[in-house]
Amino acid sequence: MEKEAAKLVEYFRREGVDYLLFSHEPVHTSEQASKARGVPLKTGVKALLLKDDAGRFVLADLAADRRVDLKKLQTLARTGRLHFATRAEVLGLTNCEPGSVHPLGNLFGIPTYFDRSVLENEFVNFNIGELTQSARIRSADLARLLRIEPGDFAL
């Protein structure tokens, strides 16, 4: 297990989170990840790294079967126009390949927002810093670990 994945698993243990790990072929999209894990797409969590025009980053977590409404997220985050971070920015801030970023932005020191759609499933699935490693935890545990209130910014 690589560094970021091992750090996240240790965090789960410290926080008393029950988890299940998946090893699978490399996945780059939510659809590929869902298929590799053998779970419905809606149980996945997309963790999208976004940057505003002032150079500030935010992480947006939403159910994998949804799309981000950037205008709603901009309002929620009280920021200017948002756009997706570059591959170099993702690597530099998270030490993760795009597509493998986990939803716990607080562990990266990145302000994080999560959409209510994440809580529609009892369990959620997401990559844990590796394109070949995923975890399943209770959505309530994810909300507890994020320590923030959910918002509404998914389509």
Tell me if 153 is assigned to some domain: no
Whole-number pLDDT of residue 2: 72
Tell me the β-bridge partners of 154: 68
pLDDT class of 4 with cuts at 50, 70, 90: confident
58: containing domain: 3-146
Whole-number pLDDT of residue 26: 95
CATH number for position 93: 3.90.960.10
Tell me if 30 is assigned to some domain: yes
Token digits for 130?
């590796």
From edge to edge, which strands make up the β-sheet containing 133-138? 20-23, 133-138, 123-130
Indicate the pairing of strand 57-63 with strand 112-114: parallel
* Residue range 23-56, pLDDT digits in tens: 999 999 999 999 999 999 999 999 999 999 999 9
| Sequence-distant contacts of 20-25: CB under 8 A, at least 24 apart | 20/135, 20/136, 20/137, 21/128, 21/133, 21/134, 21/135, 22/125, 22/133, 22/134, 22/135, 22/136, 23/132, 23/133, 24/132, 24/133, 24/134, 25/132
Whole-number pLDDT of residue 117: 96
What's the Cα-to-Cα distance from 70 to each of 63, 76, 107, 134, 155, rounded to whole Å? Answer: 15, 10, 23, 26, 10
How many independent structural domains does the chain possess?
1
pLDDT class of 89 with cuts at 50, 70, 90: very high
pTM for the model: 0.93
* Residue range 99-149, pLDDT digits in tens: 999 999 999 999 999 999 999 999 999 999 999 999 999 999 999 999 988
The mean per-residue pLDDT over the stretch 57-83 comes to 96
Q: Is the pLDDT of residue 70 over 80?
A: yes
Whole-number pLDDT of residue 128: 95
Tell me if 96 is assigned to some domain: yes
The mean per-residue pLDDT over the stretch 61-78 comes to 96
Whole-number pLDDT of residue 65: 97
